[in-house]
Structure 1
Amino acid sequence: MPRLSTELWEQRRQHVLVSAWRCFTRDGFHATSMDDIIAATGMSSSAVYRYFRSKSELVDATAAESLQRIRDLLAGLLAQEPTPSLAEVVEALVDYVAKRNKNEDYDLSKIAVYAWAEALRRPEVRTRTHDFYAGVRVHLTQLAQRWRDDGRLAPDADPDAVGAVLLTMLPGLIVTQHLVDGASATQLVEGLAGLASVR
């Protein structure tokens, strides 16, 4: 297929996907119908179905996009030299969550919450989500290992435990952003430091 045609195909597929994000942001997965999405695209139903055969495919593609953005963020942090500090990692996570809801048309952070619910409902989505977050924990543990190696983390600290805390904090950032006033990166770092002194 000629390159231009391939690019056009990708552009139209992305248009359908973004149109679905707008609908999902407004009404959630289950209250959104394919007719709603088709109307939002301004395309014919046959054209939309060339790119996604069902709403389930759109839901899966939406979840995959959300996860890929987290993966890209962590890959970028791991690639930095020198290794970013805990404060820099937490700030990057907080900024990432904040930016996900800045688009006027859709909010991927809200959609992430719907995707977690979908993982509880559909075993195949749960498996993919579990595997993804297990990989995220590995990346966060690698960061903690580097902090221990360069003396920024206590020699007897468990990097895997640190990775588990950071992984658990990430969904919390998204939920609190929508339900209560979210914490700043400074507050979170100070809170983590304070907890380290609890006996």
Structure 2
Amino acid sequence: MPRLTDARKQLRRAQIAEAAVRCFGRSGLERTSIADIIAESGLSAGSIYAHYRNKADLVGAAAREVLARHAEVLGAYAAGDTPPSPDELLACLTAAINPAEARVGVQTWGEATTNPAVRDVVADMTDRMRAMLHDCVTAWLVKDGHHEPAAARESAAPIAHRLMALYQAELLYAALRSPTEETAS
């Protein structure tokens, strides 16, 4: 049997993690079994276990997958030529929220309260997102507010903190919406 290249392994891990995200979004972390993830991914149990030791590993991978998508949105704004205002940034971020992924995100926050591995993933991704928000707000303050870079970085910190809190509140709101509300909007 041919060995998988590193790129192919990463692709397979992502395929499994995305299947887990879909299952967790649909049924919740507790009610999703490895068998559900196997069926959703279309892969064998051996393939799943070749990449993840157990369901806890998959929960961590799903958390990274969802949080990485949110971080990608922020990264695109942070790298843009015209930095959005904090209000525009929050509006763009909330518009990109996928309710099913928001449910997985909120569930991982709950799991992070008792699972140190998930807590580490959530804390790392939250810190990265807050840092990207900080970079966006700093760039906006320099470009639109004509602040000096050092002063802008200092002023941006509490704004980025509040933006992160508002964004997390929007994720929670999206996660709590019923499927009929999702299709109506």
TM-score range, shorter chain: 0.7 to 0.9
Determine which of 109, 120, 124 is the counterpart of 1:131.
124
Instruction: Return the offset for 1:170.
Output: 1.1
Do the aligned residues in 1 keep the contact of 2:17 with 2:65 (CA within 8 Å)?
A: no
Q: Which runs of 5+ in 1 are unaligned?
A: 102-106, 182-199
Paired-residue identity, %: 28
Does residue 171 (structure 1) correspond to residue 153 (structure 2)? The answer is no
- Which residue identity is paired with 1:23? C
Alpha-carbon distance in 2 for matches of 1:165, 1:153: 21
Do the aligned residues in 1 keep the contact of 2:16 with 2:41 (CA within 8 Å)?
A: yes
* Gap change, CA 1:170 and 1:153, over 3 Å in 2: farther
Instruction: Return the offset for 1:5.
Output: 5.6
TM-score, normalized by length of structure 2? Answer: 0.77
Q: Which residue of 2 aligns with 1:161?
A: 158
Q: Which has the higher contact order (CA 8 A, sep 6+)?
A: 2
1:1-199 residue pairs with structure 2 within 5 A? 9-97=9-97, 100-101=98-99, 107-152=100-145, 158-179=155-176
Instruction: Return the offset for 1:167.
Output: 0.6
Q: Choose 1 or 2 for highest CA Rg.
A: 1
* Gap change, CA 1:86 and 1:50, over 3 Å in 2: same
Q: Which runs of 5+ in 2 are unaligned?
A: 179-185
Alpha-carbon distance in 1 for matches of 2:155, 2:8: 49
- Which residue identity is paired with 1:118? E
* Gap change, CA 1:45 and 1:64, over 3 Å in 2: same
Instruction: Return the offset for 1:10.
Output: 4.5
* Gap change, CA 1:123 and 1:52, over 3 Å in 2: closer
